[in-house]
């Protein structure tokens, strides 16, 4: 049975929607539209879009707006994708320079139609950003590339600051909500990233409210730490429409605090946990927290 959204969460979402009406948010969206760029903020109906646009943040969605898979929680359209835009890397780099973005998050729909899953395009975008300004930090949030290590290596060779890949939910729910994905494959990808490029931080995230139990969440977080994941995000699942997977529960704020404390206690360098937290939410700040913890750990050693 679908859970009823609590009043306090409705108010949080409402404040973010209101923020979309500010002059700064409208100008930011107009700039993206003018450059013909997509953001996951829009395509995935992110509830933080108003807040982030007012802060000058945006997560660029490369490789088009259509996905080749059909996850039951995702708002991104499932249609036949268009070929990659060869001008996209330059457009994104130019927009990042114009907005004075210091930490750029890049994601994409899953592109199983491409031989390399879009890995080469990710690398081109990262390199274009560095060519424009080598001091910008980058965080590609990648699909699983069907488990192809050479495609992962293509992205890592572009030297991103953080390599992100979301586990999304507990393994027991994969067959129900993550059609075409594989829990073990995603864990192996994160493990391979650490093996191939141990100096690059890894990041992952899950959603609450799809039907997971507390013990399943705890086991999933332990799995992520076992493969060396450094940064974690946990947020509330919000159904994009009635056609998507229903929300089975809404976690209270205290639960997010508990999971954040647990995550740090088992070795994550930084964790962002909250109802409207998404994988790219204040990503630069979370990275800085992780780097600070690394320095503290080195001093203690």
Instruction: Give residue 99's pLDDT.
Output: 82
- Rounded mean pLDDT of the chain? 86
Q: What is the pTM of this model?
A: 0.86
Radius of gyration of the chain (CA): 18
pLDDT tens across 252-261, in order? 999 999 999 9
pLDDT tens across 44-62, in order? 455 555 455 545 456 788 9
| C-alpha–C-alpha distance, residues 191 and 183, integer Å | 12
User: With contact defined as beta carbons under 8 Å apart, do 50 and 18 qualify?
Assistant: yes
Name the residue with higher pLDDT: 297 or 173. Answer: 173
* Domains of the chain in sequence order: 7-295 (3.20.20.70)
| C-alpha–C-alpha distance, residues 53 and 16, integer Å | 10
């Amino acid at each position: 049975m679908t859970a009823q959204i609590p009043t306090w969460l409705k108010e949080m979402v409402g404040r973010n929607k209101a923020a979309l009406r500010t002059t700064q948010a409208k100008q930011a969206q107009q700039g993206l539209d003018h450059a013909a760029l997509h953001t996951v903020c829009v395509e995935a109906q992110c509830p933080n879009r108003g807040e982030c646009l007012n802060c000058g943040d945006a997560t660029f969605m490369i490789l088009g707006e259509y996905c080749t898979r059909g996850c039951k929680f995702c708002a991104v359209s499932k249609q036949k994708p268009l070929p990659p835009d060869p001008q996209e890397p330059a457009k994104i780099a130019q927009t990042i320079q114009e907005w004075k973005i210091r930490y750029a998050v890049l994601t994409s729909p899953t592109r199983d139609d491409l031989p390399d899953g879009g890995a080469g395009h990710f690398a081109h975008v990262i390199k274009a950003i560095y060519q424009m300004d080598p001091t910008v930090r980058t965080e590609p949030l990648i699909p699983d590339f069907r488990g192809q290590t050479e495609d992962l290596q293509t992205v890592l060779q572009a030297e991103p600051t953080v390599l992100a890949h979301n586990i999304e939910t507990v393994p027991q729910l994969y067959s129900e909500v993550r059609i075409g994905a594989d829990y073990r494959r995603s864990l192996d990808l994160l493990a391979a990233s650490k093996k191939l490029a141990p100096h690059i931080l890894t990041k992952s995230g899950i959603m609450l409210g799809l039907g997971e139990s507390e013990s399943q969440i705890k086991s999933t977080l332990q799995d992520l730490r076992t493969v060396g994941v450094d940064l974690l995000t946990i947020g509330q699942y919000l159904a994009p429409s009635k056609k998507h997977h229903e929300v089975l529960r809404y976690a209270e704020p205290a639960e997010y605090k508990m999971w954040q404390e647990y995550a740090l206690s088992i070795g994550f360098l930084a964790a962002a946990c909250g109802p409207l937290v998404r994988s790219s939410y204040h990503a630069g700040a979370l990275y800085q927290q992780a780097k600070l913890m690394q320095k503290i750990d080195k001093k203690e050693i």
